[in-house]
Structure 1
Amino acid sequence: MGPCLWILMLIVTHITAFRRPRDLSPCQVFQEDANCSNLNLTKIPIHLPATIHTLDLSRNLLQNLTDDVLLAYSSIQHLNLHSNKIQFIQPGLFQALTRLQVLDLSRNFLDLYAALKTPIGPLTSVQRLDLSGNGLFTDMSGYFLNDAPALTNLSLDGNSITKICRDTFNGTQALRNIDLHNNVIIEIEEGAFESLSNLSELDLSMNSISCIVDFNLFQLKTLNLRQNSMTNFQTIDSELEFELLYLDLRENKIIYFPVLPRKNKLIYLDLSRNLLRSVNCSGSLEELENLRDSGYLLTDHDKHISCISKRHQDLPRLLYLDLSYNQLKSVPSSFFGSMVSLETLNISNNCLESFSVDSESPLNALKTLDISFNNLHNLSFGERTLAALEVLHLQGNALSTLDGSIFSRLPSIRSLHLQQNQLSICSSQWGPAKDCISLSGISTLSYLYLSDNNLLSVPQSAFQGSPLLILDLSLNPGMEVSPLSLSGLETTLSHLSLRGNQLQRLPFDFTLFRKLKSLDLSVNRLSGLSLWSGDSSVESLNLQNNSLVTLAPDMLQKALRTLYVGSNPLSCCRNQHLLTLLQQDRLMVPDIAAVTCWYTKDSENMEISMSAVQPEHCKSVNVKVLLISVIVVLVLGLLVLTVIMKLLFHSRRHRFNRGIKA
């Protein structure tokens, strides 16, 4: 081999050896982003471009962070170290990374580092820091926060912090967002958050805070205290305006309505799943003693709420109020007096027996009202109230007698949920009566749910003048319907449910309903069907749990796309059109696994899956039918021949007798 060739090989080998680390780098590099996630790395990779801005090292096996490699990437702005095994960080490591803005150290073992009691700072340029899921205890967070002047967003969720000390955030005065949810916080020292003048969002949900009686964070806009052990929430009495917009107090043990700022900007208030017994913000000592007698553990703060001075609480900007899943027995109409902007009100799942809206508190901005699953017997809406109401939930109550025209007075109503009551429907010909409700002539009504009302009948033209798109009349066993019960809905109705009504026949010609797309006739007693006289627009048809043996070809219209037909005694051999559609994939049957049919084999009825039917399953039946047909023809032929022979014999005999007589 010549010397030139040796030199060439040495050069190629040297170049290959020089480039191999980068060529074989397990990371994916695209422009200024390097993705090294989930590669079982134990060290930070070398030979990445020095100009990268984002380095994702999440879900690896890194244990120690030192400056031997990381400082080579001085342009990093976003460093993701989520879900490693990091337990040591070289102090001062991030100071040299002057462009670093986002640092994610979540789901590591930084409690082991904090045990060394050595700050990692300074974090000179870091704006977002995630320390969640690191097993940090009280005071440990200080080793990461003592010098972070640019920090605006901090996450400490999923740790084991029990106390927020007064000096916890002294080194992070620029904070705007703090996430402390899912810790074990019991105590917050006075002044812990007051010095953070830019603080806008604070999440303290899923902790063990028992009460807040002197809330004074005027600048805060969002406060989440969901799922604590709070029995009371009270702001300080001040004439200054609070900036608070969102207050989440759900899933606590609050007994009385919180004491809110005199001047506030609240638009969202959630008090669901508490122990509210009254919408008053205070109670008498006698009421509290009754709570004690019922097994409720009273604290000093609970006793305090009976002694606070009642202050006038206006909520003029409130848009959303949730009081569901409490123990309210009444809510006076005057309670809503200041809520002139309220759009959504949920008082479902309480103990209300009556509810009224009068002209003094008209709730004219309200769009959604949910009073479902109470024990309502009385319901009244005054004249010129609820002008904007679009959705009304009344399901799951005991309503039987209402003002017949109560819903006709709602000028914007679109959706009525009346299921699980005891209501009756008035005929449009007679107008509203005392023992029924009028559902005709409501020009804005599009969605009507009347299932499970023990309806005895649907009168003629019951919905005339109400342009319904969806009508649910299901679960009213024994309900009588006539050909004109749905009169007036021919040009609007798109979904109709008659499920579970024990219907044996259908008096409707659904061809007339030109926009009907979905028809639910399941769980009835239908044995024969004639649904339409011409082309139908129905795309989805549910016939489950009936008594159908055959489906006529004209029932399986061209528009039909989806058919539910399980739990019927279908014949395997008398539904050839259905079998053809299934074989050609021209019809979707989502419950095909539950669709069975019957055929006869050796004089025994056999049941198989409809999708498993083969031509041989119907051969024996065809042979028997043919044999029976032949026998019938032969018998008829013999009978005809016998009759003809008798007639001929009688005719000849008559002629013979006449000849002798002559």
Structure 2
Amino acid sequence: MGCPNYVVYLEGSSGARRRITSDIIERSAFIQGMIDFGVDRDDDISVRVPLDEHLLDPLIDLLGFDVVAPDRFEDSTLLQLVPVLYYLQAPDGIIDSICWTIGQTFAIPDGQWSSSRVEQQWHQHARTVGLADLPGWVVTELTCRLARLAFRDKCPWRVGHSIVHWSSRSVWGTLRKDWFSNMPSGTAVHELNLGYNWIESLQGKRVFERFSSLRVLILSGNRISTIAPGAFEGLPSLSSLRLVGNQISTIEKGTFTDLPSSFQKLSLDHNSLPDGVLAGMSTLSELILSRNQIVRLTTGTFKGLSMLTHLDLSGNLIVTIDEGAFDGLSSLQKLYLESNCISSRLVAGTFKGLSALTYLDLTCNRIAAIDEGAFDGLSSCQQLYLGGNCISSRLTTGAFMGLSALTYLDLTGNQIEAISEGAFDGLSSLTNLQLGRNCIPSRLAPGTFKGLSALTYLVLSGNRIAAIEKGAFDGLSSLRELYLDSNSISSRLVAGTFTGLSALTILDLSGNRITAFDEGAFDDMSSLHELSLSGNCVSSRLTTGTFEGLSALTFLNLSGNRIASIDEGAFDSLSSLIKLYLSRNCISAIAKGAFRGVFTLEQLHLDDNHIRTIEPGALEDVFCLSDRDEDSTGGSTDEYEEPPMFCRLMLAGNPICDGWGDDQYLASGLPSGVFVKHWVDEFER
């Protein structure tokens, strides 16, 4: 069979053309395929292929094209463009090889799709056939154009798969329904991803009507500014439409009308939408409008969205919420309003009608005060986020009334200066309270947390608390974790400070100014597992009985204090202790009996002290050596052979280690046969 009479040209932006010679045409494996597209093999096909001038000449050099006089031809159809890129092949058929498998590359079964898989397969194939050896700019241009033609004219959906992913900057301009004219009607594509292309507008009605089985349509990351009314008609199974990150500033009436009853999720975040753009989506369950330019929520804004369960308005410019703004949202469960400009006060009735709401996020606004009744009607709300606002002065009585189901309350990063007695009235279900990084000063008074009998987690870090009065934690019988780090608690911890916290397992007092502990300071804390006192001003000595009653303690951090000595039996009652941190103190000697009874210890951190001597027998209990004799290690131990150890000992940065230069040493004063490594503490301090 002879070669057809094809005359194919490449044309640059200045009008210069290059003709593809017939021997290249004859080599193409795609000529037979042209018959399937209805092209008469006896036709002369004149093709204009627009390429940037900087790309044209190197391609000519690469492929050996003949040069002809520059004159213009009419634009070809996309069908006529198909053979051009098939003819742009090196002698080993690189482009032909990629095109041969294009359908398989994009045929992905349900449940196996991921956003990057197609791109990974494409580049992997390019490497295996040698495309990666071409100059980078050539590869970019060829793959981009080949991708576009393959998507439209090779029709990847012909292979009968259910997901089509095409996000390679190969689709641009105005999208009309004839763009899909080569696709057989009724093809069972369930998900179509045209995200991250250069689509600017959807023109005409029923643009995607050939996708009658479509459930998910992704158009995110394009340049869409205009959507014709009715563009999404003809999609009886559509459930999700994603238009994230476009340039949509207006939505014409009728754009989202006539959507099917199956339609549930609309994502319009990162556009330029103003107020009042929604109507006619009664079946919608999830609406994402974050990162737009909405300034005010007026009465009736969401009218008709009775099935909506998730509403995301985060990252807008909302200053005011009118009374009745959420009318009609009787099914709403989650409301995201973080990172707006909501200012002044939350007034009574703001969230009226949201009886099904379980989650409300108001983080990072400009809220200064909460009026009594502001949360009326939110009887189902379980999580409330108010962090990063400007709530100042005092939390007043009744501020959270009506939130009987609330379990999580975040007030982190405000300017709260005081908490009135009864401020948390009505929060009988609250389990987690975040009050970190506020301005709570002076003293925690009795009754501060009255009524919070279910509370298990309390954060008061980063405030200005100077003292804790007896009874400050009365009623917190369920509390398990208490964080008081980075405050200004000074002087002594007196007996009874934590009375009533019998269920507490974690207590963090690091970064304060505590100088000493009275005997009984930790009474009634038999369940405590972790105690952090690092970065305080504990000075002089640790005396016997300091930690009396903490029999369940496994972690004790006393690093960064001013401890100079440890009395015999200071840790006597800590029978479960596993980790003990005494780094960065002023300890100069370890006396016998200092660590008496700590048989369970696995880590002892004494690095960066002033230790010069360790009395004989001082560490016997630490290393469980009191009953060990020479035979227990199988006789004498070679000087450089490390024997079994029961505890990791950190001694780096002490005078006793001066002169050490190798990996391990026998330190003067340690029990016979015990070696230590010259480590810097590798654990969290």
Q: 1:42 and 2:148 equivalent?
A: yes
Is the alpha carbon distance of 1:347 and 1:556 closer, same or farther for their aligned partners in structure 2, counting shifts above 3 Å? Answer: farther
Equivalent position to 1:410, from 501, 506, 509: 501
Look up the equivalent residue of 2:370 and give its one-letter code.
Answer: F
Matched, 1:388 2:478: yes
Partner amino acid for 2:285? R
Contact 2:212–2:234 (Cα < 8 Å) also in 1:
no
Pairing 1:268–2:354 present: no
Partner of 1:517: 602
Contact in 2 for aligned 1:138/1:164 (Cα 8 Å): no
Instruction: Name the CA shift for 1:26/1:536 in 2 (closer, same or farther; >3 Å).
Output: farther
- Residues 82 and 522 (structure 1), Cα distance of their counterparts in 2 relative to 1, 3 Å cut: farther
Contact 1:223/1:246 (8 A) holds in 2? yes
State the distance in 1 between where 2:276 and 2:148 align.
Answer: 35
CA contact (8 A) 1:326 1:350 kept: yes
Q: In structure 1, which of residues 319, 327, 332 is the aligned counterpart of residue 420 of structure 2?
A: 332
Change (3 A) 1:122 1:573: closer
Q: Tell me whether 1:98 sits opposite 2:182 in the alignment.
A: no
Cα pair 2:109 2:162 within 8 Å, conserved? no
Which is richer in strand? 2
1:576-591 equivalences in 2 (<5 Å): none
SS at match of 1:334: coil
Could you list the per-position Cα deviations for residues 528-570 of structure 1 after superposition, in whole angstroms to 9, with x for gaps in the alignment?
66884488499xxxxxxxxxxxxx9688755678989589755
* SS in structure 2 at match of 1:154: strand
Q: Is the 2:437–2:462 contact (alpha carbons within 8 Å) kept by the matching residues of 1?
A: yes
Deviates more, 1:198-207 or 1:185-194: 185-194
Question: Which residue pairs with 1:498 in the alignment?
Answer: 582
Distance 1:48 1:239, change over 3 A: closer
Instruction: Call closer, same or farther: CA 1:155–1:441 in 2, change over 3 Å.
Output: same
Equivalent position SS for 2:444: strand
TM-score, reference length from structure 2: 0.67
Say yes or no: does 1:221 pair with 2:303: no
Q: Which runs of 5+ in 2 are unaligned?
A: 1-28, 37-95, 123-143, 626-638, 668-675
Which stretch has the larger CA shift, 523-532 or 262-271?
A: 523-532
Match of 2:187 among 74, 87, 100: 74
Per the alignment, do residues 144 and 124 of structure 1 end up closer, same or farther by CA in structure 2, a change over 3 Å counting?
farther
Q: 1:311 to 1:472 in 2, by over 3 A?
A: closer
- Pick the aligned partner of 2:364 from 251, 266, 278: 251
Counterpart residue identity of residue 496, structure 2: S
Larger-Rg structure: 1
Q: Does the residue aligned with 2:217 lie in a helix, a strand or coil?
A: strand
Partner Cα distance (1:452, 1:360) in 2 = 27
- Residue matched to 2:301: 192
Contact map agreement 2:347 2:370 (CA 8 A) in 1: no
What SS is found at the alignment partner of 2:514? coil
In 2, distance between residues paired with 1:24 and 1:371?
59
* Residue type of the alignment partner of 1:74: T
Indicate the RMSD between aligned Cα atoms, in angstroms. 4.0
1:454 aligns with 2:569: no
Contact 2:269-2:292 within 8 A present in 1 as well: yes
Give the deviation of 1:572 after TM superposition.
3.5
Quickly say closer, same or farther: Cα 1:509–1:480, change in 2 above 3 A. closer
CA distance in 1, matches of 2:247, 2:351: 39
Number of the residue aligned with 1:55? 164
Check whether the contact 1:213–1:235 (CA below 8 A) recurs between aligned residues.
no
Distance across 1 between alignment mates of 2:266 and 2:679: 48
Shift of 1:481: 1.8
Aligned-partner Cα distance in 2 for 1:163–1:55: 34
The count of residues paired between Structure 1 and Structure 2 equals 519
Moved more, 334-343 or 84-93: 84-93
Q: CA deviation at 1:370?
A: 1.4
Q: Which has the higher helix share?
A: 1
What SS does the aligned partner of 1:95 have? coil
TM-score between the two structures when normalised by the length of structure 1:
0.69
* Counterpart Cα distance in 2 of 1:559 and 1:68: 76
Letter in 2 for 1:335: A
Q: Which amino acid aligns with 2:215?
A: Q
Q: Given residue 366 of structure 1, which amino acid in structure 2 is its aligned partner?
A: L
State whether residues 262 and 312 of structure 1, in contact with CA within 8 Å, keep that contact through their aligned partners in structure 2. no
Q: Secondary structure at the match of 1:412?
A: coil
Q: How many angstroms apart in 2 are the aligned matches of 1:339 and 1:263?
A: 12
- Percent same amino acid at aligned positions? 23
Flag the 1:556–1:164 CA change in 2: closer, same or farther, 3 A. farther
SS at match of 1:255: strand
Q: Distance in 2 between matches of 1:383 and 1:591?
A: 39
Name which of structure 1's ranges 355-364 and 195-204 shifts more when overlaid on structure 2. Answer: 355-364
| 1:97/1:26 CA distance change after superposition, 3 Å | closer
Give the conservation status (yes or no) of the 8 Å contact 2:106–2:156: no
Instruction: Please list the CA deviations of residues 64-109 of structure 1 after superposition, one character each: whole Å capped at 9, or x if unmatched.
Output: 6511344567111112222222235464132231211111111111
Deviation at 1:488, TM superposition (A): 2.0
2:670 matched residue in structure 1? none
1:51 touches 1:73 (CA, 8 Å); kept in 2? Answer: no
Q: CA deviation at 1:152?
A: 0.8
CA distance in 1: counterparts of 2:446 and 2:509, whole angstroms:
18
2:549 is the counterpart of 1:465: yes
Per-residue CA distance 1:507-548 (angstroms, 9 max, x = gap): 46769634333333333233566884488499xxxxxxxxxx
Distance 1:92 1:122 in 2: 6
* Equivalences for residues 216-615 of structure 1 within 5 A: 216=326, 217-231=329-343, 232-234=345-347, 236=349, 242-257=355-370, 259-262=374-377, 264-278=379-393, 313-353=401-441, 354-356=443-445, 358=447, 361-380=450-469, 381=471, 385-400=475-490, 403-426=494-517, 431-432=519-520, 438-439=521-522, 442-456=525-539, 457-466=541-550, 467-489=552-574, 491-507=575-591, 513-527=598-612, 532-533=619-620, 536=623, 557-558=644-645, 570-572=659-661
Q: Provide the residue aligned with 1:201 in structure 2.
A: 310
CA–CA distance in 2 between the matches of 1:14 and 1:313?
Answer: 74
Maintained 8 Å contact 1:63/1:87: yes
| Secondary structure of the structure 1 residue equivalent to 2:208 | helix
Residue 4 of structure 2 corresponds to none
The separation in 2 between residues aligned to 1:328 and 1:374, in whole angstroms, is 9
Cα distance between partner residues in 1 of 2:241 and 2:105: 24
| SS of structure 2 residue aligned to 1:333 | coil
Query: What is the CA distance between 1:339 and its match in structure 2?
Result: 0.7
Evaluate the alpha carbon distance shift between residue 275 and residue 423 of structure 1 in structure 2; reply closer, same or farther with a 3 A threshold: same
2-structure distance, mates of 1:226, 1:460: 52
Alpha-carbon distance in structure 1 between the residues aligned to 2:661 and 2:234: 79
Q: Deviations over 1:131-163 (max 9, x none)?
A: 0011221336x6752442332111111112232
Paired with 1:498 and 1:184, the residues of 2 have a C-alpha distance of: 54
Unaligned residue ranges in structure 1 (runs of 5+): 1-12, 283-309, 433-437, 539-551, 579-586, 594-662
For 1:535 and 1:360, locate their aligned partners in 2 and report how far apart those are by CA, in whole Å: 41
Q: Distance in 1 between matches of 2:400 and 2:647?
A: 61
SS at match of 1:94: coil
